[in-house]
Structure 1
Amino acid sequence: MTGLPDGVSSRPLVLADAPAVVEVMAAFEMATIGSVVITEADIIGDWNRPSFDLDAGTIGVFEGDRLLGYAEVSGPARGDACVHPEETGRGIGTFLAHWMQDTARAQGQSEIGMPVPEGSPGETLLRDLGYHQRWTSWVLELPAGRDIPQLPLPAGYGLRIAEAEDVEATYHVIEDAFLEWSVRDKQPYDDWRAQVVERPGFEPWNLQLVTGPDREVVGGVHVVLDPDGTGFVSKVAVRADQRGKGLAKALLAAAFAAAREVGNGRSELSTDSRTGALDLYLGLGMEISSTWINYGIAV
């Protein structure tokens, strides 16, 4: 593995390092996309998954007590890393990239990858290291005050906040829909709960669902409120046999409306080229605010 500069060390991260990771990632995002989307709740929810080994799956690079960069291998063929923009050019990004490859290989994986903003130094680094493009993703914004077209639900369908007894059924609907295009195993239910209903700051309105005539859950949406008051839709899906009825639009409208009641009126979501959903969101009046490229490499 490529070495670090003199006076710089590395170690696995602990939960108490989450604020420092957020600080580094926020500085990176501001420098590359001009806004901050990461939150401490995102990090803690991810790290609190029962299947995630924080000691084996993360690394931080420090100069004294100051975190300069971090990386994690968070799932099959999936990781994340960033370096504080003031610390680029010191070999830290290369060190982290090689650590991710070595860690994924030790876990028995055949590939590792991560998203980086299009045109960023991170993209240049990964390309120089031999990574290949896997897919493109976009963050889209619905500006404050812009309405989303709403369609009445078909007869017999209902939309409401999820109750405790609905959570597992909603998990299955959302996860099964995501697995139609994502090449991975189904996320364990307890991991999903850690990122949704057990995520720090969770409120009941964050998880809403649509039921069909048989009262079964046929769609769901999870939205969170960022520190600046922006509502971010982290998950939205409708069961395959229930699509084409306007249920996804109804779920999005409900999520945006709920977030606007307590936030700043803006809403965001992310999609990627594997889903084929970009035109749907653009047709709802959303605008692309940033573009990310997911790069991978065989290990």
Structure 2
Amino acid sequence: MSATTVPGPADGGSPSAPLPVPLTSRPLTMADSRAVFELMAAQELADVGEVVIEEADLVADWQRPSHDLAASSVAVLDGERMVGYAEADGERGDAAVHPDHRGRGIGTWLAHRMQDLARAQGARRVGMPVPEGSPGDRLLASLGYGVRWTSWVLQLPPGARVPERPLPPGHRVRSAREDERRACWTLLEDAFLEWAERERESFADWTARVTERPGFEPWHLRVVVDAEDRLLGCAVVLLAGDCGYIDRLATRRDQRGRGLAQALLVDAFAEARAHGATRSELATDSRTGALGLYERVGMVVTSTWLHRAIGL
């Protein structure tokens, strides 16, 4: 789906009504990671039929040195129970409402509060991913949030394998050494910034998300190297329950078209299976142009997400 014009405040940026009594709100703290995970898991289960989020995802994101959780988040409480939340990290937002508490105006209030949080950080717009056709998608559309890009979650069907792609002579895939982590960060950021509209993530923030993520093990960071042991590609693979999930994958720009990405894909899923995974998944979006690549190696789309955003 092509990007659409992102509306401005006149299309949805007006202040929202107060939260209905007896709901209250407050900023999040690190101690809220479990409650937010349970809230997001309930929403994902209702909207896409599976839980995608992990508590470790939240902890890894919130523990970044550059991140001020209290200044960028809000929780909605019904008594002591968290029934909604929103956060904004510059232009990147997220929010959730427990399915049992929809229809109370919480989502609308959070959509506007997310704008306030982003605006206070100097952002020109804010957006978040929502499952296509979900209540959240319909709500944000009604509030003037336009579609900027489309994302897809893909899964390798049970019993299927990504076709092997022989590496050039002398090349191999292995776990990254500790002294290669900065080079992995550089390679991944260089590749993703070819199409992502954001500032370069600092090495400290990348470390917080990747190598300091709860549960990280050295085999999670995979690299493809040449005969001189030079880094040509990198993948971050996570083990989420029984799912091997590729969080990031990229090859150096001057090394593309040689089958290195496919070799990394095969290796990452194989490593995850060796560590107990029975499913293999990844996500991509319309900015990368990689959907066809993953479909050609046998992966199938299991859910479609829209990134909806609004100008501030």
TM-score band w.r.t. shorter chain: over 0.9
Residue type of the alignment partner of 1:203 = E
Q: 2:73·2:117 contact (CA, 8 Å) conserved in 1?
A: no
Q: State the 1:156 CA deviation.
A: 3.0
Say if 2:236 is the partner of 1:226: no
| Distance in 2 (alpha carbons) for counterparts of 1:153 and 1:265 | 26
CA RMSD across the alignment: 0.9
The corresponding residue for 1:49 is 64
Deviation at 1:71, TM superposition (A): 0.7
Partner of 1:238: 251
* 1:85-112 deviations in Å (ceiling 9; x for gaps): 1111111111111111111111111000
Aligned counterpart, 1:287 = 300
For 2:278, what is the secondary structure of its paired residue?
A: coil
Residue in structure 1 matched with residue 224 of structure 2 by the alignment: 210
Q: Shift in Å at residue 4 of structure 1?
A: 0.5
Note if contact 1:196-1:202 (Cα within 8 Å) is conserved in structure 2: yes
Structure 1 counterpart of 2:55, one-letter code: E
Partner of residue 142, structure 1: 156
Per the alignment, residue 25 of structure 2 pairs with: 10
- The answer on 1:257 being equivalent to 2:279 is no
Number of residues of Structure 1 aligned to a counterpart in Structure 2:
297
TM superposition outliers: structure 1 runs of 4+ over 4 Å: none
* 8 A Cα contact 1:143 1:265, kept in partner: no
1:278 — aligned with what?
Answer: 291
For residue 280 of structure 2, what is the aligned residue in structure 1? 267
Distance 2:238 2:277 in 1: 13
Q: Distance in 1 between matches of 2:158 and 2:210?
A: 25
Does the 8 Å CA contact 2:146/2:310 hold for their aligned counterparts?
Answer: yes
Q: Residue 264 of structure 1: CA displacement?
A: 3.4
Q: Which one-letter code corresponds to 1:113 in the other structure?
A: G
Letter in 2 for 1:97: A
Q: Distance in 2 between matches of 1:107 and 1:30?
A: 32
Q: CA deviation at 1:213?
A: 4.0
2:8 alignment counterpart:
none
Is the partner of 1:119 in helix, strand or coil? coil
The question of whether the paired residues in 1 share the 8 Å contact of 2:87 and 2:117 is answered with no
| Displacement of 1:150 | 1.1
Aligned 1:10-49 pairs, distance under 5 A = 10-49=25-64
- Find 2:135's aligned residue among 84, 104, 121: 121
The aligned amino acid for 1:293 is L
- Deviation, 1:61, is 0.3
Partner of 1:196: 210
Q: Which runs of 5+ in 2 are unaligned?
A: 1-14
Q: Report the AA paired with residue 85 of structure 1.
A: P
2:83 maps to 68
Question: What's the offset of the Cα at 1:140?
Answer: 0.2
Q: Pairwise mapping of residues 64-213 of structure 1 onto structure 2 (< 5 A)?
A: 64-74=79-89, 76-213=90-227
